[in-house]
Amino acid sequence: TQLLEQSPQFLSIQEGENLTVYCNSSSVFSSLQWYRQEPGEGPVLLVTVVTGGEVKKLKRLTFQFGDARKDSSLHITAAQPGDTGLYLCAGDGSSNTGKLIFGQGTTLQVKP
């Protein structure tokens, strides 16, 4: 069974601080996606990483896929209150079925 362990589960920081969220597995994934979910809404796709070692940037967010495609990280620079939300990583281990395995999520609170 493929599992994704996300850490930390909860993070409360001050505006302007940096943070990193980790997503680890013993399984190889063909791709890994990061989503952000706000209360009362569905998850929103932030990025998909496909190639081992790949780094993608989205403004102050930097996403990295591990060389072996078993882990990923999300780094936020100078966090803003608007970054508050639930961050979910999801791995696609299937072949073309789109079956995503989700991590447990990281709840981020950025205080002004």
Q: Does residue 102 touch other proteins according to CB under 8 A?
A: yes
For position 107 contacting other proteins by CB under 8 A, the verdict is yes
Smaller CB distance to other proteins: residue 44 or 68? 44
DSSP at 4:
-
Site for other proteins in 19-38 (CB under 8 A): 31, 33, 35, 37
Q: Does 112 bind other proteins (CB under 8 A)?
A: no
User: Binding other proteins by CB under 8 A: which of 88, 91, 108, 110?
Assistant: 88
Task: Using DSSP, state whether 93 is helix, strand or coil.
Answer: coil
Q: b or e along 73-83 (b: 16 or more beta carbons within 10 Å of the residue's beta carbon)?
A: bbbbeebeeeb
Q: How far is the CB of 16 from other proteins (least distance, A)?
A: 26
Torsion (CA) 45, 50, 54, 57 in degrees, nearest 10 = -20
User: Contact 8/106 with Cβ under 8 angstroms?
Assistant: yes
Tell me 41's DSSP state: S
7 forms part of the interface with other proteins (CB under 8 A): no
Q: Indicate which single residue of 57, 99, 109, 111 sits in contact with other proteins (rule: CB under 8 A).
A: 99
